[in-house]
């Protein structure tokens, strides 16, 4: 009985040979292969090897050799049809009945496979010949040596549009074959076909079994897009395959992580750095089919490929598009994580500049999909009004509603509601000496910060900090508006300090009168003697004026400041003051973290050390975390900032 060739190919692709053999005998890991005493002849030392990547077994003792079907036939003593049906049952496939059309298609595919393999060899030869000098120079500049070029079968398509056609015609292939395989293009005016890839470095694309089915080409000079890929053919569907898939399948079975990068050179750099599970989509955004293929690569119950994106705005947009594609298909154990690279870096540049160890911190800090979804719908959104909060809630619930699996959707919905409750919970009113956890003021931070207990004593008078210099007040600017609001709110509501004092101490204002006032305010409210928790606004104002801040106080506690934040004015309630203080502080803190990141990047550029890189990566993630839900500076208005 004959079977459709494409069905047999699917059967071989769906089942790992080692998994089928491993059910029938004990296998021992041997590098990328497995070994065992041969089941087909008596021996004491293992000479029977199984190679998943190549899809065959071989015994160096008796010469037994074959694929997954051949093994089951020989081991289970089954005829070919019986072995196929047994394997189909293991793979969950229904056995079809072949037709004459199926046989013709198989022969056609076999011819095209042979053609693509011959084309790949020709491109490789061109790279090492006189015509490929420019391509060789380019690859050497990108840090690749001859071994790497051979390993990834890199090649070169010369500018001569007829050279490859002449070579393949001489081997017996037809123009029709080459047009079908997307190697040639047919001019509309009826002239002879010409090569689609010209003057480009060539990257062969293989299918799940490692057979060449398409190419990607990078232009070196002249007009045209930077990268082009083969169009869809009977062998190749762009949205169904991933660059590096056959290698990643073996790496994943060895326990290595599956990483999704954006381009060919990124995958090559990651593989050379030891991350052989690296893959990339082929010139398009990640498709739903590719997501399913990623999960198929990973053995076990938990499947979480790591999506690696640049840390810039374009990279974040690409990450959110990937999240949108994955979300509807989430299932128990099937998810993903998202890693952001430092801004301006991709895996290739990062590894070339900082070495292979630069990747590990990024993988360790990759965020889970639930966190990516939260960031996606909360960053750059305001949440200072009931309507804004309701909009955020609706957006998140709409995203969660796209998850098809009911249990996963239910858990996501529960987690999102918990985070919304934590972010939007009204702050409690604190009594003096109360040591409960402080509120976050209705902002995005899901974690609450423990309140530092500050003994409260009325009537305290402190001197200015040692070395304190009086500086003339500066004009109110957009840059220091939030700093002024933070100080004004605490001066008008000294009881806030019990809750926000530690956070006010975390930020440092630019040198000048506001920073001097911040230090004196913290020193005053932190050093009150025990016994009395009351220090009203008038007493605090008087104390600060006598300490030399009368001029800056007159400017600070004015309508010019209050117009930008009602929560800071004297007649605001304690709850209003606290609710407005937190999001304003978060803006200032976020700006400070960004400044620290710029400084760390400058240090990294000078030192190029692992410690400096780790700090940049940590600050990059901190910038993302602190930026959640923060609006731009242009969003200043007369409400809470």
In which band, very low, low, confident or very high, does the pLDDT at 214 lie, cut at 50, 70 and 90? very high
List of residues 6+ apart from 624 with CB closer than 8 A: 340, 375, 379
The last residue of a domain, from among 384, 403, 424 = 424
Per the CB < 8 A criterion, the answer to whether 177 and 165 are in contact is: no
pLDDT in tens, 35-79: 999 988 878 788 899 998 888 899 888 888 889 999 999 888 888
Residue (of 204, 221, 223, 212) closest to 158 by Cα position: 221
DSSP state of 229: E
How confident is the model over 263-280, as pLDDT tens digits? 899 999 999 999 999 999
CA distance 466 to 487: 20
Residue 471: which pLDDT band, with cuts at 50, 70 and 90?
A: very low
CA–CA distance from 111 to each of 174, 178, 237, 450, 459 (Å)? 11, 10, 18, 70, 94
* Range of weakest confidence among 191-200, 446-455, 586-595: 446-455
CA angle (33, 38, 42) in 5-degree steps: 155
Over 50: is that where the pLDDT of 430 sits? no
Q: Which of 25, 82, 18, 85 is nearest to 54 (CA)?
A: 18
Please tell me the pTM assigned to this model: 0.60
CB burial readout 149-182, b (16+ within 10 A) else e: beebbbbbbbeebebbbebbeeeebeeebbebbb
Give the Cα-Cα-Cα angle 393, 394, 397 (nearest 5 degrees). 85
Please state, in angstroms and as integers, the Cα–Cα distance from residue 329 to each residue in 282, 287, 333, following that order.
Answer: 21, 11, 11
In the chain, pLDDT over 90 holds for what percent of residues?
40
Looking at the predicted structure, is the pLDDT value of residue 204 above 70?
Answer: yes
Q: Is the pLDDT confidence value at 312 over 50?
A: yes
Query: Is the same domain home to 170 and 286?
Result: no
What mean pLDDT is predicted for residues 595-615?
A: 79
Residue 127: predicted pLDDT: 96
Res 516: pLDDT: 85
CA distance 72 to 69: 5
Banded pLDDT at 398 (limits 50, 70, 90): very high
Q: What is the pLDDT of residues 319-363, one digit of tens each?
A: 889 999 999 999 999 999 999 888 888 899 999 988 999 999 889
477: confidence class by pLDDT, cuts 50, 70, 90? very low
Indicate whether 438 belongs to any domain: no
CB-count exposure of residue 554 (10 Å: 0-12, 13-18, 19+): exposed
What is the DSSP pairing of strand 155-157 with strand 200-206? antiparallel
* Backbone angles phi and psi of 118, in degrees to 5: -65, -40
Q: Are residues 201 and 80 in the same domain?
A: no
CA 583, 584, 585, 586 torsion-angle sign: positive
What is the distance between the alpha carbons of residues 265 and 280, in angstroms, rounded to a whole number? Answer: 10
Tell whether the model's pLDDT for residue 32 goes beyond 50. Answer: yes
| Domain co-membership, 414 together with 498 | no
Which of the four pLDDT bands, split at 50, 70 and 90, describes residue 244?
A: very high
Measured distance CA(259)–CA(247) in Å, rounded: 12
Q: What is the pLDDT of residues 360-372, one digit of tens each?
A: 988 988 999 999 9
User: Alpha-carbon distance 431 to 524, whole Å?
Assistant: 20
Strand order in the sheet with 227-229: 155-157, 200-206, 212-219, 227-229
C-alpha to C-alpha distance for 263 and 282, rounded to whole angstroms: 8
- pLDDT tens digits, one per residue of 166-187: 999 999 999 999 999 999 999 9
Name the residue with higher pLDDT: 470 or 283.
283
Please name the residues in contact with 63: beta carbons below 8 A apart, sequence gap of 6 or more: none
Q: Phi then psi for 608, rounded to 5 degrees?
A: 50, 50
Kindly state whether residues 285 and 183 are assigned to the same domain.
no
DSSP for residue 549: I
Q: Is the pLDDT of residue 478 over 60?
A: no
CATH of the domain at 55: 3.90.580.10
Last-in-domain residue among 91, 117, 145: 91
Residues 6+ apart with CB under 8 A from 461: 543, 546
Dihedral, CA atoms, 467, 472, 475, 476, nearest 10 degrees? 40
pLDDT score at 458: 28
Whether residue 475 lies inside any domain: the answer is no
285-298 pLDDT, tens digit per residue, is 889 999 999 998 88
Compute φ and ψ for 592, nearest 5 degrees. Answer: -65, -40
Confirm if 491 and 444 have CB atoms less than 8 A apart.
no
Q: Which residues pair with 483 in a beta bridge?
A: none
> Mean pLDDT across the stretch 570-597?
87
Q: Does residue 300 belong to any structural domain of this protein?
A: yes
User: Taking Cα atoms as reference points, which of 573, 581, 565 lies closest to residue 635?
Assistant: 565
Q: Map residue 556 onto helix, strand or coil.
A: helix
How many angstroms separate the CA atoms of 202 and 123, rounded? 7
Give residue 495's pLDDT band: very low, low, confident or very high (50, 70, 90).
confident
Distances (CA, A) of 419 to 206, 306, 415: 44, 24, 6
Domain total of the chain:
4
Residue 327 maps to a domain: yes
Q: What local confidence, expressed as pLDDT, does residue 343 receive? A: 82
User: Could you tell me if 262 and 216 lie in one domain?
Assistant: no
* pLDDT value for 301: 83
User: How far apart are the C-alpha atoms of 441 and 574, rounded to whole Å?
Assistant: 11
List the domain range (segments joined by +) for residue 511: 481-635
| Nearest CA among 580, 573, 386 for reference residue 481 | 580
Find the CATH number of the domain harbouring 172. 3.90.980.10
Model confidence at 389: pLDDT above 70:
yes
Residue 608 confidence (pLDDT) above 90: no
Whether 255 and 284 map to the same domain: the answer is yes
In this structure, the answer to whether residues 553 and 620 fall within a common structural domain is: yes
Residue 501 sits in the same domain as residue 582: yes
Q: HSE, CB side, 13 Å, CA atoms: give it for residue 273.
A: 26
Query: Quick check: is 124 in a domain?
Result: yes
For residues 177 and 315, state if they share a domain. no
pLDDT of residue 534: 52
Note whether 267 and 230 are same-domain residues: no
- pLDDT for 630 equals 54
> Per-residue pLDDT tens for 73-90?
988 888 888 899 899 988
Question: What would the mean pLDDT of 531-549 be, rounded to a whole number?
Answer: 75
Among the three residues 188, 206, 236, which one is the final residue of a domain in this structure? 236
Quick one: 171 and 64 in the same domain? no
Given this model, what pLDDT does residue 641 score? 43
* 463 in any annotated domain: no
Residue 574 resides in a domain: yes
CATH of residue 524's domain is: 1.10.860
> Above 70 in pLDDT, residue 459?
no
Question: What is the H or E stretch that residue 502 is in?
Answer: helix 497-506
Q: What is the DSSP string of 617-636?
A: HHHHHHHHHHTTTPPPGGG-
Q: Is the pLDDT of residue 613 over 70?
A: yes
**Range 373-399 average pLDDT:** 89
- Cβ neighbours around 439 below 10 Å, total: 22
Flag whether 486 is in a domain: yes
Mean predicted lDDT score pLDDT of the chain: 82
Say yes or no: 393 and 256 in one domain: yes
């Amino acid at each position: 009985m004959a079977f459709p060739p494409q069905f047999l190919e699917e059967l071989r692709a769906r089942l790992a040979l080692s998994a089928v053999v491993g059910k029938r005998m004990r296998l021992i890991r041997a590098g990328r292969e497995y070994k065992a005493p041969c089941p087909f002849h008596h021996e004491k030392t293992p000479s029977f090897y199984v190679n998943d990547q190549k899809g065959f077994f071989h015994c160096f003792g008796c010469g037994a050799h074959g694929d997954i079907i051949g093994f089951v036939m020989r081991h289970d003593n089954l005829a070919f049809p019986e072995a196929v049906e047994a394997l189909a049952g293991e793979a969950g496939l229904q056995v079809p009945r072949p037709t004459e059309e199926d046989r013709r298609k198989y022969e056609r595919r076999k011819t095209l496979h042979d053609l693509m393999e011959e084309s790949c060899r020709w491109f490789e030869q061109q790279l090492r010949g006189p015509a490929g000098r420019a391509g060789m120079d380019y690859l050497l500049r990108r840090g690749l040596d001859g071994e790497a070029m051979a390993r990834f079968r890199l090649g070169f398509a010369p500018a001569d549009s007829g050279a490859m056609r002449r070579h393949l015609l001489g081997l017996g292939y037809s123009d029709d074959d080459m047009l079908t395989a997307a190697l040639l293009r047919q001019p509309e005016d009826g002239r002879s076909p010409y090569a689609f890839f010209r003057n480009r470095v060539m990257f062969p694309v293989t299918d799940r079994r490692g057979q060449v089915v398409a190419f990607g080409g990078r232009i070196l000079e002249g007009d045209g897009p930077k990268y082009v890929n083969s169009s869809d053919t009977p062998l190749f569907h762009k949205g169904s395959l991933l660059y590096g898939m056959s290698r990643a399948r073996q790496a994943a079975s060895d326990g290595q992580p599956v990483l999704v990068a954006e381009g060919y050179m990124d995958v090559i750099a990651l593989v050379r750095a030891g991350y052989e599970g690296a893959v990339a989509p082929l010139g398009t955004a990640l498709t739903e089919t590719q997501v399913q293929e990623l999960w198929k690569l990973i053995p076990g119950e938990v499947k979480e490929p790591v999506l690696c994106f640049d840390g810039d705005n374009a990279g974040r947009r690409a990450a959110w598009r990937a999240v949108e594609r994955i979300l509807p298909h989430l299932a128990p154990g099937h998810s993903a994580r998202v890693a952001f690279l430092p801004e301006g870096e991709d895996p290739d540049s990062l590894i070339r500049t900082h070495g292979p160890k630069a990747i590990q911190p990024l993988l360790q800090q990759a965020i889970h999909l639930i966190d990516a979804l939260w960031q996606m719908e909360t960053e750059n959104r305001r949440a200072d009004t009931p309507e804004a909060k309701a909009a955020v809630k609706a957006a998140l619930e709409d995203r969660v509603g796209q998850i098809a699996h009911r249990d996963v959707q239910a858990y996501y919905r529960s987690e999102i509601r918990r985070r919304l409750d934590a972010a939007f919970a009204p702050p409690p009113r604190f009594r003096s000496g109360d040591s409960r956890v402080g509120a976050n003021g209705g902002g995005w931070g899901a974690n609450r910060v423990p309140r530092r207990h500050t003994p409260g004593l009325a009537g305290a008078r402190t001197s200015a900090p040692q070395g304190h210099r009086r500086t003339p007040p500066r004009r109110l600017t957009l840059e220091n508006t939030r700093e002024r609001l933070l100080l004004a709110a605490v001066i008008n509501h000294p009881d806030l300090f019990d809750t926000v004092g530690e956070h006010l101490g975390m930020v440092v204002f630019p040198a000048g009168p506001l920073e001097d006032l911040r230090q004196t305010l913290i020193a005053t409210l932190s050093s009150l003697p025990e016994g009395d928790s009351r220090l009203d606004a008038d007493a605090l104002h008087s104390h600060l004026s006598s300490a030399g801040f009368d001029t800056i106080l007159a400017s600070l506690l004015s309508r010019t400041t209050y117009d930008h934040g009602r929560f800071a004015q004297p007649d605001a309630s304690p709850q209003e003051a606290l609710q407005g203080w937190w999001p304003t502080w978060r803006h200032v803190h976020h700006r400070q973290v960004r400044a620290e990141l710029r400084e760390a990047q400058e240090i990294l550029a000078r030192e190029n050390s692992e410690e400096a890189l780790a700090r940049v990566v940590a600050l990059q993630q901190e910038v993302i975390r602190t930026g959640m839900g923060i609006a731009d500076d242009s969003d200043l208005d007369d409400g809470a900032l």
